[in-house]
Structure 1
Amino acid sequence: MTLPATPVPDFTDPGVLRAHIADTMAFYRPRALDPDGGFFHYFRDDGTVYDRSHRHLVSSTRFVYDFAMAAAEFADTPHADGDRAAALHGLRFLGEAHRDPASGGYAWTLRDGVPEDRTHHSYGLAFVLLAQASARKAGLDTVAGMDETWDLLERHAWDPTHGLYRDEADAHWRYAPYRGQNANMHLCEALIAAHEAGGDDRYLARALTLADHMTRRQAALSGGLVWEHWHADWSVDWDYHRDDPRHLFRPWGFQPGHQVEWAKLLLSLRAHLGAGAPDWLLPTARHLYDAALAHGWDDAHGGIVYGFAPDALRDASPAPGAPPPDLASAPMFWCDDDKYFWVQAEAIAAAWRLFDATGEARYRDDYLRLWDYAWRHFVDHAHGAWYRILDRHNRKVDDLKSPAGKTDYHTMGACHDVLAVMRGTHATRLAR
């Protein structure tokens, strides 16, 4: 490991952020690449691969992101060519194994290279676009692929009536009634990355539309914060997974991690739009971030919990047509007090962006406090990368460092994002 476990490094130093990315990539480089195609997706804490044959679209795409962004960041090092080749290797696997030529979509999961689940997820397509955009940043020619993914989303997933993307469809593109904010949030992220990669303004315009509709229009229906689950008409579904508030991918309640992630994206949009940025972006970002930390930070043990909800929702939902809970004054309860790696990472990126945008020392303090917590509890100083989930008392829940979906894209992504802000490389700094 380049960085020692103690003392906690100075994460206001770009060199420290670069070193942490390098340390994390050092966990994945020797063991992630499958020479027969794509990447291995299931790693224990020590790097042992515990399932060699299963593939998940989210990991397949996120590994492309990891290697492409590393190739761009470390372009002046011996690793650059290998990382770029790994990204290309992953893109080929997406096109040859995950992609269905008949439907144009991508299989959600594979077993031994054979499609296992052909459900079309907009969440998955978001990461296809992010992988293609990241690869383009690393110098690979993915323009045609990006255009194809945009057209696929336009043809099937885009709902022009509501100005948001539908969520999931069967193999024949028949959509289920469920609508989710998470797919739209990650599509916003991917669209921003696509704009960064090639400068195409259609991507940025659509990203702004998603951000506006999700963090203002829809949030107004759920008390001012971003709720996770919605009906087909984009009315609030207060009861989805109410009986399973700890669901790994679609938990009930407000997720503070998604409030801060939206805050980060709103500030990225503001930076890209420069003087023409709408004036609601910064105050909305502050509101979402501040609420997430106010309700989600664990004063006793540190870190941000996974989920909270108003006491008014503990036993019952608002009656149809009734106003949403008043979140400004409502007492909150935690519906999941576990600590997830990605929540802390997204808060780190959002805190630094807020400090950069406002100059307020409290956001810098949050940034350092979050890093201190993550460094002491989440970062594996023996083997590299971050642990996945801790309980409230910061004890690991298992030894699965990276099951499907977890490639440390969030943790390295936070470092890449903070570095970009520090350098002003893909953001137009605004006068404070």
Structure 2
Amino acid sequence: MANLQTPKFKTKEFLIEHIESIMAFYHPHCIDNDAGGFFQHFRDDGSIYDSETKHLVSSTRFIFNYSIAAILFDSKEYLDAARHGIDYLRNSHLNKSSGGYAWTMKGKVVDDSTNYCYGLAFVLLAYSTAYKAGIDESKDYIDETFELMEKYFWSKEHELYSDEISADWSNVSKYRGQNANMHSCEALISAFEATNEQKYLDRAHLIANNICNKQASLADELIWEHYDSNWQIDWTYNKDRPDDLFRPWGFQVGHLTEWAKLLVILERYIDEEWLIPRAVKLFDDAVEMGWDEKSGGLVYGFAPNGDVCDSDKYFWVQAESLAAAALLAQRMNDEYYWKWYDRIWTYSWNHMIDQKYG
């Protein structure tokens, strides 16, 4: 990429080239032709350091990436790789007797069979994106996954999904989290886009309203991560672990901007006045509280009093935030958000993207 000036970050040419470079880093040597699925643990030079461990979230995200790439580049090779991923999902992660999906695998052997709504959200996203790409059998899997989540995770009382259930479905954790619901909302939007079935959009809308309005009203209009079984805020859960990978304490900057992104997408299909103002508020609060004025980049999390509780910079926080900025810039026709897009991209390009290996 010869010209690295900030304005190039907005061009289709730059974005396509960057996507190609990411795909080239993984493809085709990420494909595990022996155990199935994809290798998931790479050094910065692309070499594999763990060929056995496979996480449900990564197994499904590979399917998502390959499906999107198949659409974008009209590539049968990428589409075949997505099918390869679905085969592993169906034949290894999926427990065909219980209907659940193993959280982690060691090759073809189940390592952790706990059922997580967070994981199923990505299963639903994988199937819906694969169906968009032309893998027709995935349509049935979309509905199958939705009904599985409906049967075991959905609470009619609280109109949100629970988080964690034992492998045999007998023990439901008392923990409730917004993260699983956010990613369920994302997957349900994708399912609606893929199938045009209204039930998926209705459910995505219901979750968004309950998290971004009802639950946010408990936290000064921001979105707290952790709740008890009655969806009351648990301010102390993981307070000593603000850097936890899946359940960090504090307001999560990347989740605030991710919700902003999802609300803008929802507004394409649902005409409700609250969606864009909430998206704007969530994004603006996130970057105001989360931007590191000294070193650049968006931090991981901040405490209820506004103090940064984890100053580390994660790639996904920057990625979700620049995507939200782009969508808001387009929707609002406001240069303010393009400036944030360029600002976050510039930090990411200078500090996070490996210019040597890709």
Alignment TM-score, normalising by the size of structure 1: 0.81
Q: What is residue 252 of structure 1 aligned with on the other side?
A: 249
What displacement does 1:191 show?
Answer: 0.4
2:147 aligns with one of 126, 146, 151: 151
| 2:166 and 2:172 in contact (8 A); partners too | yes
User: In the aligned structure 2, how far is the partner of 1:65 from the partner of 1:383?
Assistant: 23
Whether 2:358 is the aligned partner of 1:362: answer no
Q: What is residue 278 of structure 2 aligned with on the other side?
A: 284
Q: What is residue 70 of structure 2 aligned with on the other side?
A: 71
Q: Which amino acid aligns with 2:144?
A: E
2:345 aligns with one of 359, 371, 375: 371
User: In the aligned structure 1, how far is the partner of 2:276 from the partner of 2:328?
Assistant: 8
Question: What is the CA deviation profile of residues 295-343 of structure 1, one whole-angstrom value per residue up to 9, with x for unaligned ones?
Answer: 00001111000010133xxxxxxxxxxxxxxxxxxxx111000000000
User: In the aligned structure 1, how far is the partner of 2:218 from the partner of 2:335?
Assistant: 32
Whether 2:229 is the aligned partner of 1:226: answer no
Count of residue correspondences: 355
Q: What is residue 304 of structure 2 aligned with on the other side?
A: 310
Whether 2:162 is the aligned partner of 1:163: answer no
What displacement does 1:245 show?
Answer: 1.5
| 1:4 and 1:381 in contact (8 A); partners too | no
What displacement does 1:7 show?
Answer: 4.1
What displacement does 1:11 show?
Answer: 2.0
Q: What is residue 320 of structure 2 aligned with on the other side?
A: 346
| 1:64 and 1:131 in contact (8 A); partners too | yes
Query: 2:44 aligns to what SS in structure 1?
Result: coil
User: In the aligned structure 2, how far is the partner of 1:31 from the partner of 1:289?
Assistant: 37
| 1:43 and 1:50 in contact (8 A); partners too | yes
Query: 1:84 aligns to what SS in structure 2?
Result: helix
Structure 1 segment 9-408 matched on structure 2, within 5 A: 10-36=8-34, 37-75=36-74, 80-141=75-136, 142-173=138-169, 174-273=171-270, 277-311=271-305, 332-384=306-358
Query: 2:307 aligns to what SS in structure 1?
Result: strand
- Structure 1 portions without partners, runs of 5+: 312-331, 385-432
What displacement does 1:236 show?
Answer: 0.2
What displacement does 1:4 show?
Answer: 3.7
What displacement does 1:9 show?
Answer: 6.0
User: In the aligned structure 1, how far is the partner of 2:353 from the partner of 2:335?
Assistant: 25
Q: Which amino acid aligns with 2:279?
A: A
User: In the aligned structure 1, how far is the partner of 2:249 from the partner of 2:152?
Assistant: 27
Query: 1:272 aligns to what SS in structure 2?
Result: coil
| 2:6 and 2:342 in contact (8 A); partners too | no
- Structure 2 portions without partners, runs of 5+: none
User: In the aligned structure 1, how far is the partner of 2:67 from the partner of 2:143?
Assistant: 19
Alignment TM-score, normalising by the size of structure 2: 0.97
Q: Which amino acid aligns with 2:76?
A: D
What displacement does 1:8 show?
Answer: 4.6
Query: 1:217 aligns to what SS in structure 2?
Result: helix
User: In the aligned structure 2, how far is the partner of 1:31 from the partner of 1:42?
Assistant: 12
What displacement does 1:358 show?
Answer: 1.1
Answer with 6-15 or 256-265: which moved more.
Answer: 6-15
User: In the aligned structure 1, how far is the partner of 2:349 from the partner of 2:309?
Assistant: 25
Query: 1:175 aligns to what SS in structure 2?
Result: coil
Q: Which amino acid aligns with 1:281?
A: L
Cα RMSD of the aligned pairs, angstroms, is: 1.0
Identity of aligned residues (%): 48
User: In the aligned structure 1, how far is the partner of 2:278 from the partner of 2:231?
Assistant: 20
What displacement does 1:112 show?
Answer: 2.7
User: In the aligned structure 2, how far is the partner of 1:243 from the partner of 1:338?
Assistant: 15
